[in-house]
Amino acid sequence: MLHAPIALVNARLVDPVSGQEGRGGVLVSGGLIQDLGAGVTRDAVASDIRIVDCGGDVVSPGLIDMRVFVGEPGAEHRETIASASRAAAAGGVTTICVTPDTSPAIDDPAIVDFLMRRARDNAQVRVLPVAALTKGLKGREISEIGLLGEAGAVAFSNGRHSVRNAQVMRRAMTYARDFDALIMHVAQDEDLAGSGVMNAGELASRLGLTGIPREAEAIVLDRDMRLVAMTGGRYHAELISTSLSLDIMARAKQQGMRVSCGVSINNLTLNENDIGDYRTFLKLMPPLRHEDERLALVEGLASGVIDVIVSDHDGQDVEAKRVPFAEAEAGAVGLETLLAAGLRLVHADQVSLPILLRAMTSRPAEILGLPQGRLAIGAPADLIRFDPDEPFVVDPATLHTVCKNTPFDEARLQGRVKMTLVAGAPVHE
């Protein structure tokens, strides 16, 4: 069902592709952007069209979040498609890619089909399944990349674990290339990470917690880059967290390899000191690193080495977090705070608004081959309106997610989303 036409007028339009900003409006009908720019004003729009006066708020493409855990099937107590979709809409996220580490894993075309039907019936935002790269995510056998892709899988990932066996990874990349399929991977050497629970370093030593060295990420990422060079596949490092990884990515990109990388909003805006008094909501994977690493990531975002920012939304139920730090599950919700947390970097003058938005809209769209994520006539009308300066305090009770474990608990943020459109239909106001 296509929604009635809408005109967003008197807005500050931010185009992440060109980096241009300007006053104007967007006319939406038939699910697409029909017109945009300074010419779309209250007076210029036909009288029977609903007009939203944005009062100078930013209007940009809706966010595309490449890494969201939704507990369907198998962990509905942590998140459902419906709850994740409501949270996404409230956070201005109009497309979510759901991770394959469900139970059972998304390693069968029938499960992709199940998710797409569930999304069609329960989601207000676009839901794109990421399928398992290996069967059961066990890292041993290649999954049915061709059939899963035909069923609707948008990319292939091994969930929260790396593929440990380099021969399996090589064959997966080799096979995926035949379908030009995108492999997404979380790089972490499981042996080196061992039983680590936070960043290795002085703070971990002081807290008496086992550390995960930066090299655990770099070693696997470096291996993967060599395999990409060997096989010629398309590869996206899902979550990098260190300056070592930035160097590896920068080098691979210089060599013209078809690679990209993402960073969690948490690693971009928080550091290991935020763990403070063993706060389990700050237990994350990859772990929060030293402030120097965070600053390097911010620089990597500004320079374009980092392509994408994800929420790494991964709700954990209360019992999984109300335990000693070492025993707590890693992961945090993030859909509703993604934009506002990212705006911290803009307010600190570390990156510009278009660069921040590019990493949350047009770059993910380019990597995934999606038509949305840009402000252009004919593009899907997935749009958000927000005032980047409007302050608010994160109140877990108001979150739409099933779980409330946000690392921004009680944090003062700026930039609440006032309106979200998906295919021209308002899904949040």
Q: In sequence order, what are the residues at sequence separation of 6 or more whose Cβ sits closer than 8 angstroms to the Cβ of residue 125?
A: 62, 85, 88, 89, 93, 94, 95, 96, 420, 422, 427
Nearer to other proteins, 147 or 376 (CB): 147
- What's the min distance (Å) between Cβ of 177 and other proteins? 6
Nearer to other proteins, 157 or 199 (CB): 157
Q: Map residue 248 onto helix, strand or coil.
A: helix
Which residue of the set 312, 314, 389, 409 is catalytic?
A: 312
Task: For the chain, state the CA radius of gyration.
Answer: 21
Nearer to other proteins, 165 or 273 (CB): 165
Return d(Cα 65, Cα 61) in angstroms, integer.
12
- What's the min distance (Å) between Cβ of 305 and other proteins? 29
Assess whether 274 carries a catalytic annotation.
no
What is the b/e burial string over 6-38, where b = at least 16 CB atoms within 10 angstroms of the residue's CB? Answer: bbbbbbbbbbbbeeeeeebbbbbbebbbbbbee
- What's the min distance (Å) between Cβ of 261 and other proteins? 24
Give the DSSP letter of residue 278: T
Reported as half-sphere exposure (CB side, CA atoms, 13 A), residue 336 has a value of 29
309 CA to centre of own chain: 5
Nearer to other proteins, 173 or 367 (CB): 173
What is the b/e burial string over 66-85, where b = at least 16 CB atoms within 10 angstroms of the residue's CB? Answer: bbbbbbbeebeebbbbbbbb
DSSP per-residue letters across 383-403: EEEEEEEEEEE--GGG--SS-
Residues that bind other proteins (CB under 8 A): 134-135, 140-147, 171, 174-175, 177-178, 231
- What's the min distance (Å) between Cβ of 171 and other proteins? 5
Nearer to other proteins, 118 or 258 (CB): 258
Q: Map residue 60 onto helix, strand or coil.
A: strand
- What's the min distance (Å) between Cβ of 138 and other proteins? 10
Residues designated catalytic: 312
